[in-house]
Amino acid sequence: MNAQRPPRVGILGAGQLALMLAEAAPAVGADILCAGQPGDCAEQVAPVLPVDLGNPHEVAEFARHVDLLTVESENIDAHVLHGLPLYPNARAIGTAQDRLLEKHFFLDCGLEVAPFAPVNDLISLHSALREIGLPAILKTRRLGYDGKGQFRLTHADQAAEAWEQLNAPCILEGMVQFDTEVSLIAARNRSGQLAFYPLTENVHREGILRVSRAASHPELQALAEYHLTHLLERLDYIGVLAVEFFVVGSHLLANEMAPRVHNSGHWTIEGSETSQFENHLRAILGLPLGSTKSRPSVMFNCIGSMPPPEVTAAFPSVARHDYGKEPRPGRKVGHLTVPASDTAAIAALVSFFQASGK
């Protein structure tokens, strides 16, 4: 790295995760350059170069402008990523972008997962249904997010419709009767230093994260940290990693991992001494990790549109993050973070989101 100027971090992607990474960059003295498309929301805070993230030549050309690279999405083809100064590494991203590889990796690391079987056509879907039973979820191995690329089956006679809709390599997963869903966000830096945030309890609707609460679960926290330590070391991982789990009694079943900063960690901007965004940059730049000491917090995702300003302005403790995106049904356009102690604000926001159906 050139000692005369700040390190320059390239982000593959220019959406809200890149935007919040760029907002954290001054705290660590880094410059940010994003690879995306004109109009992407990170443009509000960092330069965005037009780059086709599916084109290895364009990505390699972008890499020449920066000292190191990171991603805001796992859905960049692994062949585009090889040979780049990339944190986390291409193997970690490649594992996380394929649900079948990810499941086998979890099993290899000794984690429990939902029952699953690979599906490549309608015939293998029928045999997977016999093996796994109903209800079950058919999920595309790649490119699924926010409930997209999924079909829930309650009867075997839905098989043809499910396959027609997804029509790509899939896994069939048994439905887990979970008590709650949680995620653990961890950071590992270039010297192997680890940091963990408090477990976050997550509520999804229609496959989209709605609410995250950073809660205190000492026993599950210790178990989740034990698992993530193993995953991070096995992957030789550098950066922030999030793993989502189903909680069943005292068991944690790994659902999926995200090799990047994660929606369930947005509350750390106000709720932790060091946010997940700053710690990701610290980890990849080879800096010591910051303290993850946190206060209990609640985060509400704003889906489709932001709440009118008067809904949040009445509560000074509410931190409003508007990503500056065009409102559109089902789109994440912002989030709100509230300290868990402000029960009046939380009750008002819960009623608002319930009434608006978002």
Q: Cβ closer to ligand AMP: 137 or 231? A: 137
Q: Cβ closer to ligand AMP: 68 or 224? A: 224
Q: Are 48 and 42 in contact (CB under 8 A)?
A: yes
Least gap, CB of 202 to ligand AMP (angstroms): 7
CA distance 248 to 177: 7
Q: Cβ closer to ligand AMP: 144 or 265? A: 144
CA distance 347 to 342: 9
Least gap, CB of 173 to ligand AMP (angstroms): 4
Q: Are 269 and 277 in contact (CB under 8 A)?
A: yes
Least gap, CB of 256 to ligand AMP (angstroms): 5
Which pairing describes strands 180-188 and 194-196: parallel, antiparallel, or unpaired?
antiparallel
Q: Are 238 and 87 in contact (CB under 8 A)?
A: yes
Q: Cβ closer to ligand AMP: 86 or 243? A: 243
Q: Cβ closer to ligand AMP: 214 or 306? A: 214
CA distance 10 to 277: 14
Least gap, CB of 16 to ligand AMP (angstroms): 18
Angle at 280 between CA 274 and CA 284, to 5 degrees: 130
CA 313 from centre of chain? 28
Least gap, CB of 139 to ligand AMP (angstroms): 6
CA distance 33 to 7: 11
Q: Contact positions toward ligand AMP, by CB under 6 A?
A: 114, 137, 144, 147, 173, 175-176, 181, 204, 207, 244, 255-256
Q: Cβ closer to ligand AMP: 28 or 114? A: 114
Least gap, CB of 204 to ligand AMP (angstroms): 4
* 3-class state of residue 1 by DSSP: coil
Phi, psi of 156, rounded to the nearest 5 degrees? -60, -25
CA distance 151 to 240: 30
